[in-house]
Amino acid sequence: EAGVAQSPRYKIIEKRQSVAFWCNPISGHATLYWYQQILGQGPKLLIQFQNNGVVDDSQLPKDRFSAERLKGVDSTLKIQPAKLEDSAVYLCASTQRLDSYEQYFGPGTRLTVT
Amino acid sequence: DQQVKQNSPSLSVQEGRISILNCDYTNSMFDYFLWYKKYPAEGPTFLISISSIKDKNEDGRFTVFLNKSAKHLSLHIVPSQPGDSAVYFCAASVSGGGADGLTFGKGTHLIIQP
C-alpha cells in the first residue's frame, strides 16, 4: 500500500512570496490533515478535511493560509504572502475512517522563508 | 499553552536497557493517547496507543502506561535497540470517537548507546 505522498520535499522562498504544497493521501482515506511543525516543536494541526469538506480550521491563519481538497482526494495548502515565521515542515496525514485515531503521515515539505 | 508536555528534550540509554519516555497532559478532555516515532527527514510513524479506559497497552517491546489521575503517560521500550534512536512524540485526542486532529508534545530525542 502506497503511503501519503507530498511534494515538493523542500522549498526556499523569499518573504512576501507565495508557495503551495501538495498532498496525496493513502487511497481510500477519507480524512486528511495538514500540520505545521516548527523546529523544536511538535506538529500543530492547521486544518482537517473529511472528504472535501472542512471539519476544523480553527488554527489556520486564514489571512495568509488557504487549503482545499477538491474531489475529496488530493489537497493543496497555500501560503500567500509568506513570512519568516512560516519556516517549518508542513506535514500531511490521513486516516481511513471517521472513528480511527491512527493517522498516517507523509514525509513533509520543509519550507525555508528568507 | 502546552496541553501535552514532554519535559525531557533528550534521553540517552544503553543498548539492551529499558528506555522510559514520559508525557504529561493538562486537558482532561483528552481520552486517547498515541506515541509516534520520527526519523530525520521522514514523517512521524505510529507506534502504540492507549484509550483512557485502560491503564496499560503492550505491543512487543513497547508498553504504554496511563495514569489518568496524574494526567501522565509513559512509553517503555525494553530491550532498547540501536534502531530505536529517533524522536518520540506523545500525542492526544479529545473525546470524539476518533479522527480528530491530534495535539502533540515537543518530542523527546532518544539516543541508544551501543
What are A89-98's pLDDT values in tens digits?
999 999 987 6
Question: Would the pLDDT of B97 be above 60?
Answer: no
Q: Is A102 on the interface with B (CB under 8 A)?
A: yes
* Chain A interface includes B92 (CB < 8 A): no
As a whole number, the mean pLDDT across chain A is 94
Q: What is the pLDDT of residue B94?
A: 84
What ranges make up the beta strands (E) of chain A?
5-7, 10-13, 19-24, 31-37, 44-50, 53-56, 65-68, 75-79, 88-95, 104-105, 109-113
Residue among A104, A86, A105 nearest A36 (CA): A86
Closest residue in chain B to residue A5, using alpha carbons only: B43
Confidence of residue B98 (pLDDT cuts 50, 70, 90): low
Beta bridge partners of A91: A35
Q: Give CA–CA dist B27/B6, Å, rounded.
A: 14
- Counting as low any pLDDT under 70, the low residues of chain A are 1, 98
Distances, alpha carbon B24 to alpha carbons A76, A113, A114, B32, in Å: 34, 33, 35, 13
Q: Is the pLDDT of residue B7 over 60?
A: yes
Using the Cβ of A53 and the Cβ atoms of chain B, whether some distance falls under 8 Å is answered with: no
pLDDT at B57: 97
Residue B1 has pLDDT above 80, yes or no: no
- Three cell numbers at B71? 494526567
Q: Which of A89, A101, A105 has the highest number of chain B CBs within 10 A, making it the mutation to test binding with B?
A: A101
Residue of A nearest to B96 (CA): A99
